[in-house]
Copies of this chain bind each other. A is one copy, B any other.
Amino acid sequence: MSKHPPSMRDVARRAGVSLSTVSRVMRGVPGVAPAVRERVQEAAAELSYVVSRNASGLVTGRTGRVAVLVPFLQPWFFGSVLAGISDGLQRAGLDMLVYQVGELRRQPGWTSALPLRRNSDAVITVAMDLSAEECGRLDEVGVPLVLTGQCLPGRAGVFIDDRQGAAKATRHLLNLGHTRVAYIGSEGGSWRGRSSRNRLEGFQSTMVDAGLAEWSVLSTPDHRGGELAMGELLSDHRPPTAVLTEFDDIAMGAHRTLRRSGIPVPGAISLMGFDNHEAAAVLDLTTVDQSPRAIGASAADLTVKILAGEDPPDRHVEMPTRLILRQSTSAPLLSE
């Protein structure tokens, strides 16, 4: 066995045909005699040869790769979206390049620091909350751009209606009979800008529509922040009977504070999250599901369609949110 990986030429020699024929077989294009085709496939298998995307990309102009941009990789949410994207791309025979741009993003020209230009066929962003200007810079790369977790006019994207999701959650609490409902949101600076605002608005407008005072506090975007914010709410002279949080991590922090304070959930205080974190089930946390994996899969499908040239009519895919009822919400105590 030669020490260098086999090339198409090696396969051609082994099968006793020309380069062109091997190329045709490998791409599965018609116009090759069945006997020859089989012989070539056999030779390729024996050498365990695979086509070099590098070389083929050079001439076709396609790399067979899609770049996925995520702010961070650690939070569970991104793993789920990536899983969906991976599924979709794999089905289409595309590879997935993942770039974690959290740190990088502070630099003004970060978009050109990424070797996207000739190295991927499309770019999918995951919950990046891009500004119009950043989008424009990515456009310059010259490949299709598909957004996830945000909705920008005229741009392909997959997203949920955060506003409606939060409204749904709020209404659930109101329907149970709560009137003193507080909201814990994350303060700016996190990677969820627009989505954050939308959820807050969904809460606020529902409260206002119901003729109730809207009441919200801010926290850092992690469970630690939820703990502190909950403590703050408990120190109010009339604490809320129900609390909605911007996402599950915050709710989980709040849950901890309640548990430590010996306040029964949902007995004294009903608690709701948002996202359906994998750990939410364990905490029996009522929440709003947004199935990130489906979002990812949908984004991948959209990308594949765009790459195939079939410009789909609905370049905006809105994924549904579902209320997941668990044991952390109930009607308020009658004494109230």
Per-residue B-contact encoding for A71-94, CB less than 8 Å = 1, 0 else: 011111011101100110010000
**Which of B55, B65, B75, B117 is A50 in contact with, Cβ under 8 Å?**
B117
Integer count of this chain's copies in the complex? 2
A111 to chain B, nearest CB (A): 9
* B54 pairs with A54, CB closer than 8 A: yes
Q: How many residues of A contact B (CB 8 A)?
A: 57
Which residues of B sit under 8 angstroms from A119, Cβ to Cβ? 50, 52-54, 95
Please state if B5 and A142 are interface contacts (CB–CB under 8 Å).
yes
Interface contact A78-B76, CB-CB below 8 Å: no
Q: In angstroms, how far is the closest chain B Cβ from the Cβ of A81?
A: 9
Chain B residues within 8 Å of A30, by CB: none
B residues less than 8 Å from A95 (CB atoms): 97, 99, 115, 119
| Complex: chain B residue closest to A119, CB-CB | B53
Pick from A5, A78, A112, A118 the residue with the most CB of B within 10 Å.
Answer: A118
- A279 contacts chain B at the CB level, 8 A cutoff: yes
> Please, could you name 5 A-B residue pairs with CB atoms under 8 Å apart, sorted by A?
A51-B115, A74-B278, A86-B98, A86-B99, A278-B279
CA gap between A251 and B20 in the complex, in Å: 59
Stretch at the interface among A167-175, A177-185, A202-210, A252-260: A252-260
Say which residue of B51, B63, B116, B277 sits within 8 Å of A54 (CB atoms).
Answer: B63
A140–B6 CA distance with the chains assembled, in angstroms:
11
Residues on B with beta carbons closer than 8 Å to the beta carbon of A116? 50
With the chains together, A55 CA to B54 CA distance in Å? 7
A287-316 contact mask (Cβ, 8 Å, vs B): 1 or 0: 000000100000000000000000000000
Given A50-B115, A52-B119, list of 17 further CB < 8 A pairs? Answer: A49-B117, A50-B117, A52-B58, A52-B118, A53-B54, A73-B80, A75-B79, A75-B278, A79-B82, A90-B99, A90-B100, A96-B98, A97-B97, A255-B282, A256-B283, A277-B279, A279-B279
Kindly list chain B residues whose C-beta atoms are within 8 Å of the C-beta of A76: 76, 79, 278
Q: When A50-B116, A95-B97, A97-B95 are in contact, do A73 and B63 touch as well, CB less than 8 Å?
A: no
